[in-house]
A and B are shown apart, each in its own frame.
Chain A
Amino acid sequence: MKLKLPGSIASSQDLTALLIEIREYSHWFAHESIKKRVDAKHSSATPTMSTGAMELLRDWKIKHQISQQSLDELVKTLEDYCKTAPSLTITLAMSPTSSLKTALVTWCRENIAPDVLVAFRFNATILGGLVVHFGSHVFDWSFRRQILANREFFPEVLRRV
């Protein structure tokens, strides 16, 4: 089953963290179900969850009834997702903001693959632009590369100035 991750869940690390949160929620849900069955008066509070996890659960709840089984299925889906999803790395010149991350991840999932995982790195020496790593492929669209590729053009510009 295809799972649509929120834009804030970009990399495999984010997905692993999400999986841990969902598992924790699943355990809590199981405990609460047992307490309900035995009419236990004491109930523990819902575990603290990230926005991404809450968003995922909300989407999952729309399609599936929340039950222990469905939560186990969600965990299994996430584990499969983690194993099978293609992963690429985008290197930027500076640490990306969350909005920039979301924008880039959304673009990648709309244009490359809907389940793609995107890891972000930052390297100031590229000056700007981005470098995309996918497997053994490296797509360098950084400012540094463009400047170096056009360095013979610099004296002409300097003369014009």
Chain B
Amino acid sequence: MSITFLQIFLLINVFLIGAVFATALRHAYAHFRPHSHDSEKIHQTAAQVVHLSPKVRDSLLQSAQDKFQTILNHSAEQLERDLKATVEQLNSRLEKLGTEIVGDEMRRYRMDLDQLRKQTEANITGAQTEITEHQTDLKAKIDKKQAELEAKLVEEIANEKKILIQQIDTKLADAVASFLTETLGHNIDLGAQSTYLTSMLEEHKTELIKGINDET
């Protein structure tokens, strides 16, 4: 908005300077190149009205010319002063306006910058909070998953261990049974101790009787 006003103001100033410059140029042109018909008209009127001697007429002309020159100089000086004052005022106003605009812009820029900084900080804080929450959530999920996996692993290991123990037990039982069967003889029935023991005594009968006879 301020830029628009500044532009409008500058355009008005340019327009005024242009107008002043055009006026000064017109006056200067009129001074150095007066219109021929005006001087002729004056001369004709003067020639028609008064018949003056060339000397008087020359002195009058000289006097008028001096006065006109003086007035013109005075006007030019005044115009120059006015122009200088205008230029100074314009410069000071422009400087002031520029300073104000720059100040406003700087202030606005700082405000925008502060706002941006605050917004960025808020965003960063939010992002950090979100990251922290996400990390916490992720950690909780990871911990939960890890606990689940560990529990599952422990359960699987326990099951595997149980299966292996059962297999080992079965194998060992088979091995021991086979070993006992092959070691103790194929006709052993552990449930029938009486028959087995009697057969054992029968098997070692001679040895036993010999031992008893030796003892007695």
Contact = CB atoms under 8 A, between A and B. Distances in A.
B194 A147 contact: no
A104 B208 contact: no
B214 interface: yes
A160 to B, nearest CB: 7
Contact of B197 (A104, A135, A139, A146): A104
Given A130-B200, A150-B183, A111 B205 contact: yes
A158 B208 contact: no
Contact of A104 (B190, B198, B205, B209): B198
Interface in B179-216: 179-180, 182-184, 190, 193-194, 196-198, 200-202, 204-205, 207-209, 211-212, 214-216
A137 B214 contact: yes
Instruction: Please classify how large the interface on chain B is, using the bins under 10, 10 to 19, 20 to 34, 35 or more.
Output: 20 to 34
B179 A132 contact: no
Interface in A82-106: 86, 88, 92, 99-100, 103-104
A139 B211 contact: yes
Contact of B212 (A99, A100, A112, A128): A112
A103 B198 contact: yes
A139 B208 contact: yes
A92 to B, nearest CB: 8
Contacts of B200: 129-130, 141
A139 B175 contact: no
A84 to B, nearest CB: 11
B175 A137 contact: no
A111 B201 contact: yes
Contact of A107 (B174, B198, B214): B198
Interface in B125-174: 171, 174
Contacts of A108: 201
A147 B185 CA distance: 11
B178 interface: yes
Contact of A130 (B175, B180, B197, B209): B197
A128 B171 CA distance: 22
Given A153-B183, A158-B175, A103 B214 contact: no
A154 B181 CA distance: 11
A146 B183 contact: yes
State the 4 A-B residue pairs at the shortest beta-carbon distance, nearest first.
A135-B215, A137-B211, A157-B179, A150-B183
Interface of A: 86, 88, 92, 99-100, 103-104, 107-108, 111-113, 128-130, 132, 134-137, 139, 141, 143, 146-147, 150, 153-154, 157-158, 160-161
Interface of B: 171, 174-175, 178-180, 182-184, 190, 193-194, 196-198, 200-202, 204-205, 207-209, 211-212, 214-216
